[in-house]
Structure 1
Amino acid sequence: MHFEGRQGETTINTIICTVGASLRKLCNMSSSEVADRLLHLSDPIGNRDFGAEINSLASILSQSVLSSRDYLYFLTSDTEEGKKIGAALKLFFERSEHMHFREVFVTSITDLDDSRPEDFQNKGLRNLVKIIADIYKHHIDNLVINATGGYKAQIALSLAFGMGVKIPVYYRFETFNGVIKLPPMPLSLDVELWLENKGLLDTLEMNPVINEKDLEREYDYRINFSSLPAEIKLLIDREQDSVGHMLSLSPMGEVFVQACRLSLGKLDVEATLKESTVPVENRLKKSYKEAHSNKMISDNQSFIDKLLSIPFIEEVSVRGSSQRFDRNEFVCKQFGEIIKA
């Protein structure tokens, strides 16, 4: 996705809009034909032929919420129907004389397809939250969310994210004449709870699903699920199958992780780390019998040397290496006052 957001300003110039199937009846036409038809209609707030997305966006614009119409992001399902509707909406808002936006983007949310319920639950909804968080990073507080269109779960997660980072969320109920700004929930993010469980939550956030045994073997993270805080258990899906208990971050858990990360960036926090007393030459711990890990160390020796030389590093432990778990992410886990990298 391409971004041109202007951070640091207090003006609202951006809308994120979830997309549903209110224009489904026009999907026998091409996206361009749908846009042309919509452009010839009148009364975009009251005329339901425009569909829920245009009805609600027109209502938001009529309330002078935006100081300028710069960026509009449509988030669609991972279906041909959703992609076609998204493309039609993009053309409409690019061509509209009275509701024109300078830049219009359409993103299809991978795996957000209700014909594949397992992928929808485990991947699609979490991917939706990640995309919203990514857009937010580039616009910070210069945006609002229009959560009128889409699946009920899609709407709920968009609302939860908006409330979590304290940006306005708008919704148009079926019987209402226009959108309403949803009142903020009397809740606040428990960033300390996130920090205390960051290692586990970050690991789950990187994996669609992971076996508890793999969590210990590959990440050196041992957990006793029953002893986790009740608030953390609510953020994790845990199911038993033939190979043991499988763990994954729930969609609401994804909202919690992303919102806490973004909120932490806004806090005025100063952190200091103690200088390590362990000699640099004694900081690397590895298995000399494990060929894969020794090859990984050899291939990345320059990076590992730099890591070992960082003043606060206590230990770099290489327990093994597996192509199955290769990824570009750098994993950093917190255990109380100790950081394991």
Structure 2
Amino acid sequence: MDAHRGLAQRHGALRLSSRRMARRDHRERGAGDPADAARTGQPGRRGGGAVRSIISTVGTSLLSNKARLSPSGGDDEAALVRFLASVDPAQASAETNVLDKLKVDRADRLIFLHTATPEGERCAGALKAHFEGKVAGVAVVKVAHLTYEHRSFKQRGIKQLVDELATAIRREQRCGRDVIINATGGFKAEIAYATLVGLLFKTPVVYVHERFNEVVKLPPVPIQWDFSLMALHGEFFDWLDEEARPSGEVRERARALPHELRLLVEERLVDGYGGLNAAGQALYEAFRSRREGCVAERVKLSTRAEEALEAMDESTRRAFRHLLTNLQTRELWQQQSDLIQRGNMRVYPRGGRSERILFFEQGDEVRVCELCRHSDGSYERLLERGVKRGSYTFP
């Protein structure tokens, strides 16, 4: 049976809840966003290259610079727009300073992420009004819970920033745009986590200190992040992402995780619920992006493996379905598998949990011979008996 199709149709492939999926799909498709160059037919960038999308975190330097350079006329949004039009971009705000140095033009798209504060909203609104008509599109996004209140900022605000950044990056990249993160504005913690997201998503991050005249650019690092350990326990992270989970349930299920992954979990975040911390959220979002973006290999189950899957109780079947889904993406299983039987076959995973899958690769297919377990001794019995590829039939 073709598991790539059959697992999804007959056994329900691992997925987020429909409500969460619908919400994410709506956000990542950019519902309600202004027109962009890809849809309006505006010209591409210099030399016909990809259109840029520049995601900027927004601080309040616009307000402080307005008060210092032009104290009269108030500081409402209209006054800030007039100020932006009257002074050099390098003096107006941290955001305009960087965008000017990046030589923003009409083919670019700008996205401003601002704090959930009146000041942040006012500055972002003024920046949007200032750039409208000068670029292909401008969007403003409020980051919920990113406020001056310490507990909200630490427990929910930074996580929400990571989520909004990841959502924007995925959406813009799917439209074929080159994404740049401008992490100059906002709280210092925003700069740190924006940089982490940039590294994980292989997206360049730019920054200009108020005393610098040049843009400091952190390019994508040529490192392949290993998400195979997170993939091995992916059902826990998907479960945690579906909806708010009570602290007790999070604590109980997190005990089964390796120490490296437990570091990403906050058993008690707020109001009796647990979840991922900000670093964990960044890693999970990058893992999701890799899992969804990889070309899936065909996974075929032998007649024996199919019969074993059918005979399992629902809990065990669910665990194997998750692991079979990982086999569709080499990046997610290669580091967690071993060659066995003198290289005749592979076992996945090699440890860390009870389930074992014996398989081999043939062309562009992953062929699953056996589904067994370490806890009931079936894995050890198979190894003692010996397994050979030719002993299995594949429908």
**TM-score, normalising length: structure 1:** 0.68
1:264 is the counterpart of 2:291 = yes
Partner of 1:150: 186
Q: Does 1:32 align with 2:78?
A: yes
Cα pair distance change 1:155/1:206, threshold 3 Å: farther
What is the distance in 2 between the residues matched to 1:257 and 1:138?
A: 17
Q: Is residue 61 from structure 1 mapped to residue 103 from structure 2 by the alignment? A: yes
The aligned counterpart of 2:135 is 101
What SS does the aligned partner of 1:111 have? Answer: coil
Answer whether contact 1:208 1:249 (CA < 8 A) is retained.
no
**Aligned to 2:206, what secondary structure does the other structure show?**
strand
Unaligned runs of 5+ in 2: 1-30, 40-47, 68-73, 316-320, 323-352, 358-395
Partner-residue secondary structure (3-state), 1:135: helix
Alpha-carbon spacing, 1:186–1:336, altered in 2? closer, same or farther (3 Å): farther
Structure 2 CA distance, aligned partners of 1:32 and 1:192? 51
1:256-313, Cα deviation, whole Å (9 max, x unpaired): 0111111233333314264843899x99979xxxxxxxxxxxxxxxxxxxxxxxxx89
Tell me what 2:32 maps to.
2
Report the CA distance shift for 1:29/1:130 in structure 2 as closer, same or farther (over 3 A).
same
Q: Secondary structure at the match of 2:159?
A: helix
1:208-235 Cα shifts (integer Å, max 9, x gaps): 563233676xxxxx4426xx32321221
1:249 maps to which of 257, 276, 285: 276
Separation (CA, whole Å) in 2 of partners of 1:201 and 1:284: 22
Match of 2:274, SS state, is strand
The root-mean-square deviation of aligned C-alpha atoms, in Å, is 3.6
Q: Could you tell me which of 14, 22, 33 is aligned with 2:61?
A: 22
CA contact (8 A) 1:145 1:162 kept: yes
Change (3 A) 1:279 1:176: closer
Structure 2 partner of 1:277: 307
Percent pairwise identity: 28
Find the counterpart in structure 2 of residue 230 from structure 1.
259
Is residue 113 of structure 1 aligned with residue 147 of structure 2? yes
Judging changes above 3 Å, is the alpha-carbon distance between structure 1 residues 173 and 241 closer, same or farther for their aligned structure 2 residues? closer
Contact 1:122 1:208 in 2 (8 A): no
Give the secondary structure class of the aligned counterpart of 1:265: helix
CA distance in 2: counterparts of 1:198 and 1:285, whole angstroms: 18
Matches within 5 A, 1:63-102: 69-94=107-132, 100-102=134-136
CA contact (8 A) 1:12 1:144 kept: no
- Which letter does structure 2 place at the counterpart of 1:61? K
Alpha-carbon shift at residue 239 of structure 1 (Å): 4.9
| Cα distance between partner residues in 2 of 1:54 and 1:172 | 11
Question: Contact 2:182 / 2:207 at 8 angstroms: preserved in 1?
Answer: yes
Q: Which amino acid aligns with 1:175?
A: R
Q: Work out which of the residue numbers 232, 237, 249 in structure 2 matches 1:201.
A: 237
**For 2:209, which of 151, 173, 176 is the aligned residue?**
173
The 1:224/1:10 distance shift into structure 2, 3 A limit, reads farther
TM-fit CA distance, 1:191: 1.8
- Of stretches 100-109 and 185-194 in structure 1, the one that deviates more from structure 2 is 185-194
Q: Per-residue displacement from partner, 1:66-93 (whole Å, max 9, x unpaired)? A: 7x53311000000111101100000111
C-alpha deviation, 1:255, in angstroms: 0.6
In structure 2, distance between residues paired with 1:54 and 1:169: 16
Matches of 2:271 and 2:113, distance apart in 1: 36
Q: 2:166 aligns with which of 133, 145, 150?
A: 133
Q: 1:205 Cα shift? A: 2.8
Alignment gaps of 5+ in structure 1: 217-221, 287-311, 314-333
- 1:151: how far off? 1.1
CA distance in 1, matches of 2:282, 2:309: 41
Cα distance between partner residues in 1 of 2:55 and 2:151: 26
| Counterparts of 1:113 and 1:273, CA distance in 2 | 50
Q: What's the CA shift for 1:336?
A: 5.2
254-263 or 198-207: bigger deviation:
198-207
Structure having the higher helix fraction is 2
Report how many aligned residue pairs link the two structures.
Answer: 271
The yes-or-no answer on 1:123 pairing with 2:163 is no
Aligned to 2:94: 52
Paired residue type of 1:268: V
